[in-house]
Amino acid sequence: SIHHKNKVNMSAVSVPPPKRLQKPLVVPHRHMFGPGPSNVPPRILEAGANPVIGHMHPEIFEIMNDIKSGIQYLFQTQNNMTLAVSGTGHTAMECAIFNTVEPGDSVLTAVNGIWGERAAEMAERIGARVNSIVTPPGGYFTNAEIEQALLKYRPALFFLAHGESSTGVLHPLDGIGQLCHKYNCLFLVDSVASLGGAPLYMDKQGIDILYTGSQKVLNAPPGTAPISFSERACQKIFNRKSKPVSFFLDLSWLANYWGCDGKASRTYHHTGPVTAFYSLRESLAVLVEEGLENSWDRHQKVAEYFHRGLESMGLKLFVKDIKARLPTVTTIVAPRGYNWKDITSYIMKTHNLEISGGLGPSVGLVLRVGLMGRNSSKHSADMVLAALKDALQHCHKSKV
């Protein structure tokens, strides 16, 4: 019967088992000296291999409390509203913008690379009125320029990247938080590329919302993103007229899951990535053992050593102002007469080492080298210098 035929067809599997999944998983060991992710030390990898337990079990809440304390130390903040978002740095960026900004709000972004562009796009997508101040890649803004824009656009939120990893700029922060508050504006800072590698003081510098990623200086696998909100930011967020556009990133739910809302019990919102929490906790423990100031100091010294080595090879640094150089991600002017892709692929093939080209506004202009967390050492810097020297000798000069 027709009915019987259909039944047979329904039960037959028409997509066969893929051959590729019948081979074992192979992942190469590689020196991750690009702008991220960075190498994960064995201690942090092993933490992530602990057994999976329930995302609402009391032991997980304890681990989440450990993480919260670690982030408060890393950010130098007393903010109660401190947690890690389940996702990469972009998730924290959207969490900050989606919770703070309502349709029609005025948002100002500082664009000196790709991250200001991304923040502007996120705010535009949820109906904000977005204005940007723009400076060419490698540059940054003076406080006077920022104040002028705050006065002109009267934003509810001002976005700034502390570590602009596409251009290698470490943006000065002192005084900007105070200016924002003078104009009744919240100060949002992206510190994905800089946190733990360059001095930053959330409370003292008047930062209202700060976030970072797990895969840079913290040397944890990508997938969790620390974030913190000031009392002033919470005032705006919890007095919104409309609910945030994202349920997954709604701070009132996240605050409850992370035990930040003072309620006696936590309610199920989403399944937290428990093994990623183990890794993040371990990476924060590593940082606590070294001490923030020691970490800042080490990244600065290694960056200076690396920069001297590059200059002695005849290479030029993209960021001219020494004080504005990001210690975690160095941008090198793409050497004249070479195709930058030849250099990065030669180094990957011959030295099993990742460095990268530009991103967004800096494409074609720079090579980028990240020395972050454990990778910030003279030994790593020497490896990159040797690989670059070798590549410049072996790569063909292009006709251009």
Buried b (16+ CB within 10 A) or exposed e, 301-331: ebbeebbebbeeeebebbbeeeebbbbbbbb
E-assigned strands of the chain? Answer: 31-32, 81-86, 106-111, 129-134, 157-161, 163-164, 169-170, 186-190, 209-211, 224-229, 329-333, 353-354, 366-370
User: What counts of helices (H) and strands (E) characterise the chain?
Assistant: 13, 13
Query: How far separated are the first and last CA of the chain, in Å rounded?
Result: 72
Cα–Cα dist 144/151, whole Å? 11
The structure tokens 């990893």 sit at: 165
Q: How many Cβ atoms sit within 10 Å of the Cβ of residue 252?
A: 14
Name the DSSP class of 194. T
Q: Are 171 and 198 in contact (CB under 8 A)?
A: no
- 368 marked among binding-site residues: yes
79 near 260, Cβ under 8 Å? no
The DSSP string of 235-276 is HHHTT-SS--S-STT-HHHHHHHTT-S--SS----S---HHH
Q: Which residues are known binding-site members for substrate?
A: 368
Q: Which residues are known binding-site members?
A: 368
